[in-house]
Amino acid sequence: MISDDVKKGVEKTPHRSLFKAMGYTDTEIQRPLVGVVNSQNDIVPGHVHLDTVVEAVKTGVLIGGGTPIGFPTIAVCDGIAMGHEGMHYSLVSRELIADSIETMTKAHRFDALVMVTNCDKVVPGMLMAAARINIPTVIVSGGPMLSVNVDGKDLDLSSAFEAVGAYKAGRLSREKLKECENWACPGCGSCSGMFTANSMNCLTEVLGMGLPGNGTIPAVFSERLRLAKDAGIKVMELFNKGIKPEHILTREAFLNALTVDMALGCSTNSMLHLPAIAYEANVDLNLDLANEVSSRTPNLCKLSPAGPYHIQDLYYAGGIQAVMKELDKKNLLNTDLLTVTGSSIKESIEKAVNKNPQVIRPIEEPYSPTGGIAVLKGKLAPNGCVVKKSAVADEMLVHSGPAKVYDSENDAIKAIYGGSIKAGDVVIIRYEGPKGGPGMREMLSPTSALAGMGLDKQVALITDGRFSGATRGAAIGHVSPEAAEGGNIGLVKNGDRIDIDITKGIIEWDISEEEYEERRKAFKPKEAKIKKGYLSRYAKLVSSASTGAVLKG
């Protein structure tokens, strides 16, 4: 056991003494030591209840014959951090989470891990750590928030953001705005649509690192606690069998995840997180694969923001296992792969049933014959950019219009609320990438403002930053190279014509070669906005969004 490094032999007398200072008995010390990572805090709705889940995990570990030892990591609420300086710290927290887990695990010599997680950057951060550390590990989420129905409409966090735009446009009363505020987020859990947190919790199942139900069992259901106990039991089985993340996180597993990603229409942030996790697992995963997978994968689900359904509806319909079974009908998945269940995907999905063909379309009757996410390339984004195609209105799949250019999200929001954006425009927000932000802020405020004002079917938004999973409309992010790295998005001027064809994967910038060369010669990227602290260090080390925005140094 790895933990023998801190407990075996006469030489470890001082170490055992420290364990006994905490109340551990000889019997507990002799057992495998299982780290239980806890991202609970009192500022994130998805994490406020995680102590209860952690206690269930610890019970499972004890049942399985291990000694559970809890330790914390951080979590940022993207919704609360949205639209101000705090959003610079959201994506960058992913690396801190992975590093902190590595530090605690290596320093204290744990034999196995159960990671209790939930929200946007925490799930991928923990998966990155699992791949990097490579000891038996199970990921268990705290579960999704419920959505409640008000005036015939199921609300979620995006409803609240869009309500602001509707109110400012005079389309919603102050009373209805307050009602939305009170009911959009009715309790604990990760926000109820197929936003980033739930996307990654669902894809954790597909990757094989979470038990069936991990992504869809609601946070408030007792089934969530039973799942947590099972996770504790299972990690001991993995330990006894010597099954590690390297046996699960294979290239084929990532291709499965991309396939289900396309079928579900997950958050575009999955195009950042899957490559980052793959990087830690020594698997090459590039954006070009996304369109290849999308071309053969039908879009089976339209969950909020792409459609009217929420994660609880997906749960009642049969969950991720039912989606995978639909895809398996056309042999779109490798079902021979190992998972943390200790058995294959084929065995896990064998009894799955699609209980609601409206929520999970049968594969013979998909919403679209191709996937819910598209990667676009062209002069504006030579290394690619990403759009949630399933959340784009049909009339915006092909769009041309004049650029309205802003060098920060804040400037763009002022312009939108100030009435400067007109139907047909292409809003460009730059210097918001991994380096230029720094931290690649999410743009839910401007996209929600456009949607609330009724412009989401008339205006496109392009950025080297990124979008919340709650975003809908022709919102194109992750433009690479970013402006701060000298990318072409930094050369665009107001009035330049931008041509977008999402169906063909094209994003073009209508400019003559002569004009382009003149601008290129005169161009000098703006200096970093933040020059000290963690964000400054992050900006110096972070890679492009096209490679997952990972730290390389």
Residue 343 structure tokens? 């058995």
What separation in angstroms does the CA of 9 have from each of 13, 14, 107? 7, 11, 18
Look up 304 and say whether it is catalytic: no
Answer yes or no: are the C-beta atoms of 446 and 520 closer than 8 Å: no
Which strand (E) or helix (H) includes residue 507? strand 506-510
328 phi, psi to nearest 5 deg = -70, -20
Q: Terminus-to-terminus CA distance in the chain, angstroms?
A: 31
**Distance (Å, whole) CA 479 – CA 462:** 8
487 phi, psi to nearest 5 deg = -65, 160
Residue 202 structure tokens? 């669902």
What separation in angstroms does the CA of 544 have from each of 7, 24, 441, 549? 43, 46, 14, 5
Nearest one of 386, 331, 341 to 214, comparing CA atoms = 341
Determine how many CB atoms are found less than 10 A away from the CB of residue 8. Answer: 14
Answer yes or no: are the C-beta atoms of 116 and 90 closer than 8 Å: no
The single-letter code of the amino acid at 507 is I
Q: Give SS3 for 411.
A: helix
Write down the catalytic residue from 3, 90, 468, 543: 468
Strands 497-501 and 398-406, how do they pair?
Answer: antiparallel
The DSSP line for 303-362 is BTTSSSB-HHHHHHHTHHHHHHHHHHTTT-S-TT-B-TTSSBHHHHHTT-----TTTS--
**What is the DSSP code (8-state) at residue 62?**
H
Active site residues: 468
